[in-house]
């Protein structure tokens, strides 16, 4: 369980130690918002009634079920830690733990690109510049392999290996520390090779920052920078609010429409249910006819 520690002054400054960078960021934001509201409401005391009042206001302000439930989870953990450290009675923490979340009705459709839109996005970066080569490789990995943005930020040259005569991202550590290998389409590998050669990258992280002088300016690229790059090209093409996860969804949609088996797509994406799916169906990952081979995309010379 992540450890939540609020500062002794009770200010909105909150630190969280959790397994995931995204979890830390989300919990910190949730608790900062709650503590800001708490003090603005006159510090009524941390108890079940206060938390219920807060959640009611969130619902009235139009927060989605997932966003509200995430915030409730952070508050429950805060209460649990407070009780463990003697700041509030155990009974109060138990009461807060029983505050009910909001049931999500239906399933969100999500967002994804058509094949033509994905091709336009892939062709958008200026491949005559170092930054353009990097961004094209970045988009090629997100669309061609279905990686999450944090996985993309952590990608190293050591992950790129050959298996059964093709390029594969080997032993990539993803969400909840799950390890998987992802077949890579030839056009993604070509984009990566062009970027790494031009940037003279021989080891370490694949994606690096590029400064205004058009030179590699660091040894890594943040997940936020990846999100900003995707948004910048999508905005320029008039594609709307496209995030890296939408490109992950695009990978799955195009692969499925191209005829790839759902079990193979799940293996590439590393969804939480993949181990159960493997045991139930007895499937084995097919590196000769992989999901990424069904996307119908290419690099424009």
Domains and CATH numbers, the chain: 3-97 (1.10.150.130), 115-294 (1.10.443.10)
The pLDDT score that the predictor gives to residue 21 is 65
Which residues, including other chains, have CB under 8 Å from residue 219's CB and lie 6 or more apart?
A: 204, 205, 208
Q: Which is higher by pLDDT, 71 or 104?
A: 71
Which residues, including other chains, have CB under 8 Å from residue 37's CB and lie 6 or more apart?
A: 54, 57
Report pLDDT digits (tens) over 175-202: 878 889 999 999 999 999 999 999 999 9
Q: Which is higher by pLDDT, 5 or 301?
A: 301
Give the residue among 27, 248, 222, 28 at the shortest CA–CA distance from 118. Answer: 248
- Lowest pLDDT segment from 47-56, 170-179, 204-213: 170-179
By percentage, how much of the chain surpasses pLDDT 70? 86
d(CA 266, CA 277): 9
Q: What angle do CA 73, 74, 75 make, to 5 degrees?
A: 90
Contact 4, 31 (CB under 8 A): yes
d(CA 280, CA 147): 25
pLDDT at 13 exceeding the cut of 90 = no
pLDDT band at residue 26, thresholds of 50, 70 and 90?
confident
Report pLDDT digits (tens) over 126-160: 999 999 999 999 999 999 999 999 999 999 999 99
d(CA 223, CA 242): 15
d(CA 64, CA 47): 23
pTM, 2 dp: 0.67
- Lowest pLDDT segment from 7-16, 74-83, 173-182, 197-206: 7-16
- Lowest pLDDT segment from 156-165, 188-197, 270-279: 270-279
Report pLDDT digits (tens) over 224-243: 999 999 999 999 999 998 99
Q: Dihedral, CA atoms, 175, 179, 183, 188, nearest 10 degrees? A: 50
What average pLDDT is seen over the chain?
A: 85
pLDDT at 266 exceeding the cut of 60 = yes
DSSP H stretches of helix in the chain: 21-40, 48-60, 65-84, 90-97, 115-123, 130-145, 149-153, 186-198, 223-236, 244-257, 262-269, 274-281
The pLDDT score that the predictor gives to residue 105 is 56
Contact 288, 164 (CB under 8 A): yes
Helix, strand, coil in percent for the chain, rounding step 5 = 50, 10, 40
Burial group, residue 100, by CB count within 10 angstroms (0-12, 13-18, 19+): exposed
The pLDDT score that the predictor gives to residue 259 is 87
Question: In this structure, what token pair is assigned to residue 33?
Answer: 């918002």
pLDDT band at residue 24, thresholds of 50, 70 and 90?
confident
pLDDT band at residue 285, thresholds of 50, 70 and 90?
low
The pLDDT score that the predictor gives to residue 267 is 86
When pLDDT is averaged across residues 266-279 and rounded to a whole number, the result is: 68
Using only the alpha carbons of the chain, give its radius of gyration. Answer: 22
């Amino acid at each position: 369980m992540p450890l939540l520690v609020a500062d002794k002054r009770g200010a909105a400054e909150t630190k969280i130690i959790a397994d995931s960078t995204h979890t830390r960021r989300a919990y910190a934001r949730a608790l900062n918002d709650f503590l800001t509201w708490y003090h603005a409401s006159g510090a009524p005391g941390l108890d079940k009634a206060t938390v219920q009042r807060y959640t009611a206001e969130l619902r009235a302000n139009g927060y989605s079920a997932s966003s509200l439930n995430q915030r409730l989870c952070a508050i429950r953990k805060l209460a649990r830690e407070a009780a463990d450290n003697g700041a509030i009675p155990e009974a109060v923490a138990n009461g807060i733990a029983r505050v009910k979340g909001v049931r999500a009705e239906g399933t969100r459709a999500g967002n994804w690109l058509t094949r033509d839109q994905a091709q336009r996005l892939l062709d958008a970066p200026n491949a005559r510049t170092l930054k353009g080569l990097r961004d094209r490789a970045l988009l090629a990995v997100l669309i061609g392999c279905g990686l999450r943005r944090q996985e993309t930020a952590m990608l190293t040259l050591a992950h790129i290996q050959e298996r059964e005569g093709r390029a594969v991202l080997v032993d990539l550590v993803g969400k909840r520390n799950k390890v998987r290998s992802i077949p890579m389409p030839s056009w993604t590998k070509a984009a990566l090779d062009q970027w790494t050669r031009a940037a003279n990258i021989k080891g370490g992280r694949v994606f690096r920052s590029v400064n205004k002088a058009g030179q590699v300016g660091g040894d890594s690229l943040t997940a936020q920078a990846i999100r900003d790059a995707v948004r910048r090209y999508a905005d320029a093409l008039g594609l709307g609010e496209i995030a890296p996860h939408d490109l992950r969804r695009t990978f799955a949609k195009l692969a499925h429409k191209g005829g790839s088996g759902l079990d193979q797509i799940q293996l590439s994406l590393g969804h939480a249910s993949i181990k159960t799916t493997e045991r139930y169906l007895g499937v084995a990952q097919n590196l000769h006819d992989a999901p990424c081979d069904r996307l119908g995309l290419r690099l424009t010379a």
